[in-house]
């Protein structure tokens, strides 16, 4: 008997993306959201939070490569890194591949996401057992408000600005991020879709402009998020994401990647004209 189950993510009232499901591996509801892990036919295991696709095994490397290696290769010597969110573990996995990183603190609000991924998606979560990762189950907003640590790079690996992730798009949060960054610190954040959520990008970049001297947007392609083209914001106290990027560092690192590379690093900051027009005055690209 063949499964006739499909999972569909709907965007507003005019777009749907469907995936063939072979097996439901986990389904639960935490105090924050529903959490599901399914085995799909064409995209491997998939994590959904509140019915929204977070990760698939087939293309997760694109997101995790670009959210982590871009800032870590711009900063000359990142030693102490903070990841807010990222409960699947993929971002922390990429962070600790950098030999300069001595410690990666990961603050995830929902233990159910972490546990479900540890059980069912080791491709992203296996690195969470590494001794350099300090996993804290807690509120990232409160953490940056209370911490006395200074971080070289902060990565905000959040969901869309709804539910538990909503405060991660606010000015109060980014003022606290600024305060717990080192003097040459960088923050990169999940930056939504220029096709479908430019209003959210505009709002987030206005916040970053109010807090940081320089703000940028860069993009990558993927298979599973609406529109295919997705973005991250890059804000820094000091470094320019392409001028202060040395491509030779990528080669010298000895690291190999499935998506990221040195030419792509620079190219990702070259934006389509409709994006530059929509974000005029908000980005320094």
Q: What's the CATH code of the domain at 41?
A: 2.30.140.10
Q: Are residues 212 and 113 in the same domain?
A: yes
pLDDT of 225-265, one tens digit each?
A: 999 999 999 999 999 999 999 999 999 999 999 999 999 99
Instruction: Identify the CATH number of the domain in which residue 242 sits.
Output: 3.40.50.150
Say if residue 32 is in the same domain as residue 92.
no
With CA atoms as reference, report the closest residue to 216 among 142, 271, 168. 271
- DSSP-based three-state secondary structure for 161: coil
Quick check: is 125 in a domain?
Answer: yes
| Beta-bridge mates of residue 26 | 37
| Whether the Cβ atoms of residue 123 and residue 45 lie closer than 8 Å to each other | yes
Q: Give the chain's mean pLDDT.
A: 95
Alpha-carbon separation of residue 88 from 14, 65, 231, 279 (angstroms): 29, 14, 19, 31
Question: In terms of domains, do 253 and 161 share one?
Answer: yes
Q: What are phi and psi of 63, to 5 degrees?
A: -65, -50
The rounded distance, in Å, linking the Cα atoms of 204 and 220 is 18
Distance between CA 224 and CA 50 in Å, rounded?
A: 15
Strands 229-236 and 151-157 come out as unpaired
- Domain total in the chain: 2
Taking only the tens place, the pLDDT of each residue in 59-83 is 999 999 999 999 999 999 999 999 9
Q: Which residues are catalytic?
A: 157
Q: Residue 138's closest CA among 158, 172, 109, 167?
A: 109
Percent of the chain with pLDDT over 70: 96
273: left (phi over 0), alpha (psi -120 to 50) or beta: alpha
Q: CA 154 to CA 160: how far, in whole Å?
A: 18
What is the Cα Rg of the chain in Å?
18
Are 126 and 66 members of one domain? yes
d(CA 275, CA 124): 31
Q: How far is CA 231 from the centre of its chain?
A: 9
Which domain covers residue 249, as residue numbers? 60-278
Q: How confident is the model at residue 160 (pLDDT cuts 50, 70, 90)?
A: low
- For the entire predicted model, the pTM comes to 0.96
Residues 98 and 49 in one domain: no
Would residue 284 count as lying in a domain?
no
Q: Does residue 169 share a domain with residue 244?
A: yes
Can you tell me the distance from the alpha carbon of 117 to that of 125, in angstroms, rounded to the nearest whole number? 6
Task: Yes or no: say if 85 and 157 are a contact pair by the CB < 8 Å rule.
Answer: yes
Instruction: Read off the pLDDT of each residue in 100-111 and give the average, rounded to a whole number.
Output: 98
Please tell me whether residues 131 and 234 are part of one structural domain.
yes
* pLDDT exceeds cutoff 60 at 1: no
């Amino acid at each position: 008997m063949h499964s006739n189950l499909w999972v569909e993510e709907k965007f507003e009232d005019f777009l749907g993306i469907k995936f063939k499901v072979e097996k439901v591996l986990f389904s639960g509801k935490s105090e924050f959201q529903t959490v599901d892990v399914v085995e799909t036919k064409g995209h491997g295991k998939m994590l959904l939070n509140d019915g929204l696709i977070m990760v698939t095994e087939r293309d997760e490397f694109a997101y995790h490569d670009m959210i982590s290696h871009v800032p870590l290769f711009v900063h000359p010597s990142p030693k102490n890194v903070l990841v807010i969110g990222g409960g699947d573990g993929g971002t922390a996995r990429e962070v600790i591949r950098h030999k300069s990183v001595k410690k990666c603190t990961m603050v995830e609000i929902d233990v159910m996401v972490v546990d479900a991924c540890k059980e069912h998606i080791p491709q992203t979560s296996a690195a969470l057992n590494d001794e350099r990762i300090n996993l804290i189950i807690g509120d990232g907003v409160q953490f940056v408000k209370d911490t006395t640590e200074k971080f070289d790079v902060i990565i905000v690996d959040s969901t869309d600005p709804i539910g538990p992730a909503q405060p991660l798009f606010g000015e109060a949060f980014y003022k606290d991020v600024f305060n717990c960054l080192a003097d040459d610190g960088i923050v990169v954040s999940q930056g939504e879709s220029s096709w479908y959520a430019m209003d959210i990008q505009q709002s987030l970049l206005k916040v970053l402009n109010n807090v940081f001297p320089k703000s940028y947007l860069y993009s990558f392609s993927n298979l599973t998020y609406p529109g295919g083209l997705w973005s991250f914001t890059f804000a820094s106290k000091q470094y320019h994401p392409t001028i202060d990027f040395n491509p030779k560092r990528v080669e010298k690192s000895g690291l190999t990647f499935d998506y990221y590379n040195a030419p792509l690093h620079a190219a990702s900051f070259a934006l389509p004209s409709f994006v530059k027009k929509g974000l005029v005055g908000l980005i320094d690209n």
